[in-house]
Structure 1
Amino acid sequence: MAFRSHARTFAGRPVVDVPADGPLPVVTGPVCWRIADWHYDRDAPEGTLSERFRDRFDRFVAQAGDSVEALVVGSWGYAAVHHAPIAQLCAAAPRLPRLRSLFLGDLTSEECEVSWMLVGDVSPLLTAYPALEVLRVRGGLLFGFTPVRHDRLRELAVESCGLSRRFVGAVLDSDLPALTDLELWLGTDEYGGNTGVADLDGLLTGKLFPALRRLGLRNAEIADDLAAALASAPVVARLQRLDLSLGTLGDEGLAALLAGQPLTHLAALDLHHHYLSEQAAASVAAALPGVRVDVSDPQEPEDDDESYRYPAVSE
């Protein structure tokens, strides 16, 4: 899978594009604004902020800052050259007093592969916006996080083709008492995704994030290991939704998951994009009556002397 389209909805709202110039379009009802400016400047020093994006963002904030409640940030120039506008977003916080939902990194693969995206440490966004309730970030290069305390954040999603144990550890060391939804795209070791099951121990034991009800450990090449660990993980008992989608789950991992603690209390189990046999995929719904189970998008391993499985986003 590649990111082939931009978000059409975010935080339960339709996404409306900010025009390159002129007034904002007239909207009815709550919307999520999306600001982006894709361009390639071959002379731009790597790691600098795009001046074109800076100007467009400042113009948008001057037009609508007081009313913006949800915001999607797409291309900030060419994301493999220009650095994500985290500092600019943080500096604009006083002019965005009602912002509650933020998605940084809504780029298609044609605009920039996720593994090339220059993002940086995203945790300053939480410090700058103490009232933020939803944060979704996508990135690859120089992708970082620092432990933070935030009283209002309910949903945190991190999309990547490789999340390091340092990044994941910083998230898990954060104090997020209101967090109900956590989604981590663990990715592959080839792109820095060296997080193992042991690195998730505090999360799986249920000692962290007391309000957590929905957990996604997605896009993982270690999906079988995760499934086996979740079979006895105390955190599962208080979840409403468990998501192992977009990864490399196979029959062995599924068997371990289903042989463990009861899962019938779940409202939903998402396993889509998997490497299950037809028989194994069919067995899940039978084993979990009343649970919404998604086993769509089956994959076939690639064979070249040995069998290879790939998560959905691996570059």
Structure 2
Amino acid sequence: MTINEHLTAFGGFDVVAWTPGEPLPDPATTICRLSVEWDEAQSWEEKFSAFLALPGVEATPGLVVGWWSTDDTETEPTAVVEALVGAHARLPGLQALFFGDITYEENEVSWIMNTDLSPLLAAYPALRHLGVRGGNNLSLGQLDSGHLQTLIVQAGGLPVNVVREVMNARLPNLEHLELYLGTENYGADSSAADLAPLLDGHLFPKLSYLGLKNSDHQDEIAQMIADAPVLDSLHTLDLSLGTLSDDGALALLGSQRVRRLTRLDLRHHYCTPEVSAQLGELGPEVNLGDDQNRDDDWRFVALGE
């Protein structure tokens, strides 16, 4: 799997690309993506400055940060973070922020150099929806928010420090958690055990969607969570895009808690046809995708490089 398209929606809003000279879209329905291209004359920060000068910009409900460098694939977005933090008074209504809407043609997900995003969370404490792409050098700091409802972190290899930051978070109203854990080949160094704080369901009491996906420890994750109390409040369990095989699937098949889910997402798996057939009759709506029945000796996650 490669990320070959930009976001078209996030946080309940449509997403459109914005360039200087264009008006603001309708803030009731649409948010802007700001990005630059290779060798472009304007920097991301200059475009953002022009955006902030628009009449009515204070009504902006969300922002999508796209590719931020015109000349270096390894540029860390520290200047972007500083610009956003400095603009917090101009964007008082910001509810949704996606940081790093970058396709593989702009930079592979495993090459994206990220940074400490905790100043953003401090500057915009009323954020309800936060998405991040790129795990290198990423930090979220101490996550403590009574407003955040959605947290999505996408990486080809998510560092254990970020996983532990999420597991130590205080997010009492979080409803949607989606972690692309990734592979050791691209820097993932967490284990299934690092996810243990989720299991009893107390960490995020309003959680209805849990995505622990794109992992080369998918069997261990499935076995650990198959009979965990956290499932009792979930609508959807998403274990897709990883290396799930019969070992993990059999744990799911043996769980009454899994059977009470509304939806189970297992796309990109390595289960045998026999077990796949059983999964399809499990009870919840099960998404097995079009690429099941793999018998490769080498298993790989969908989003690595």
Letter in 1 for 2:68: W
Residues 187, 314 of structure 1: 8 Å contact kept:
yes
Q: Does 1:58 align with 2:49?
A: yes
What does the per-residue CA deviation read over 1:158-196, in whole Å, with 9 as the maximum and x for residues that have no partner?
A: 000111221111111121111111111110112221111
Structure 2 stretches lacking a partner, 5+ long: none
What does the per-residue CA deviation read over 1:212-271, in whole Å, with 9 as the maximum and x for residues that have no partner?
A: 121100111111111111112221112111000111111221011111333232121111
Aligned to 1:311: 301
Aligned to 2:287: 294
Letter in 2 for 1:76: W
1:114 to 98, 109, 116: 109
Residues 90, 128 of structure 1: 8 Å contact kept:
yes
Q: Distance in 2 between matches of 1:163 and 1:265?
A: 30
Q: Distance in 1 between matches of 2:15 and 2:25?
A: 13
Aligned to 2:276: 281
Letter in 1 for 2:18: V
Change (3 A) 1:272 1:139: same
3-state SS of the aligned residue for 1:75? coil
2:59 to 37, 42, 67: 67
Change (3 A) 1:240 1:24: same
Structure 1 stretches lacking a partner, 5+ long: 42-49
Aligned to 2:6: 6
Residues 227, 257 of structure 2: 8 Å contact kept:
no
Aligned to 2:216: 221
3-state SS of the aligned residue for 1:166? helix
Q: Distance in 2 between matches of 1:68 and 1:25?
A: 9
Q: Distance in 2 between matches of 1:146 and 1:28?
A: 30
Q: Distance in 1 between matches of 2:53 and 2:199?
A: 44
Give, in angstroms, the shift of residue 40 of structure 1: 4.5
Q: TM-score, normalised by structure 2?
A: 0.92
Q: How does 1:1-315 map to 2 (within 5 A)?
A: 1-19=1-19, 21-24=20-23, 27=26, 29-40=28-39, 52-63=43-54, 64-78=56-70, 80-84=73-77, 85-288=80-283, 291-298=284-291, 307-315=297-305
Residues 183, 216 of structure 1: 8 Å contact kept:
yes
Q: Distance in 2 between matches of 1:95 and 1:297?
A: 46
Letter in 1 for 2:304: S
Give, in angstroms, the shift of residue 301 of structure 1: 5.4
3-state SS of the aligned residue for 2:258? coil
Q: State the 4+ residue runs in structure 1 displaced beyond 4 angstroms.
A: 25-29, 299-303
Change (3 A) 1:88 1:190: same
Q: Distance in 1 between matches of 2:13 and 2:178?
A: 20
What does the per-residue CA deviation read over 1:118-174, in whole Å, with 9 as the maximum and x for residues that have no partner?
A: 211222222111110000000132112212311100110100011122111111112
Q: Distance in 2 between matches of 1:310 and 1:297?
A: 16
Q: Percent identity?
A: 39
RMSD (Å) for aligned C-alpha atoms? 2.0
Change (3 A) 1:28 1:284: same
Q: Distance in 1 between matches of 2:282 and 2:295?
A: 29
3-state SS of the aligned residue for 1:93? coil
3-state SS of the aligned residue for 2:66? strand
Q: Distance in 2 between matches of 1:28 and 1:260?
A: 44
Q: How many residues align?
A: 301
3-state SS of the aligned residue for 2:177? strand
Residues 272, 293 of structure 2: 8 Å contact kept:
no
Q: Distance in 2 between matches of 1:278 and 1:170?
A: 38
Q: Distance in 1 between matches of 2:114 and 2:290?
A: 30
Q: Distance in 2 between matches of 1:136 and 1:235?
A: 22
Q: Distance in 2 between matches of 1:139 and 1:158?
A: 8
Change (3 A) 1:243 1:235: same
Letter in 2 for 1:58: S
Q: TM-score, normalised by structure 1?
A: 0.89
Residues 127, 148 of structure 1: 8 Å contact kept:
no
Residues 274, 297 of structure 1: 8 Å contact kept:
no
Residues 243, 300 of structure 2: 8 Å contact kept:
yes
Which stretch has the larger CA shift, 110-119 or 32-41? 32-41
Residues 178, 211 of structure 1: 8 Å contact kept:
yes
Q: Distance in 2 between matches of 1:302 and 1:39?
A: 41
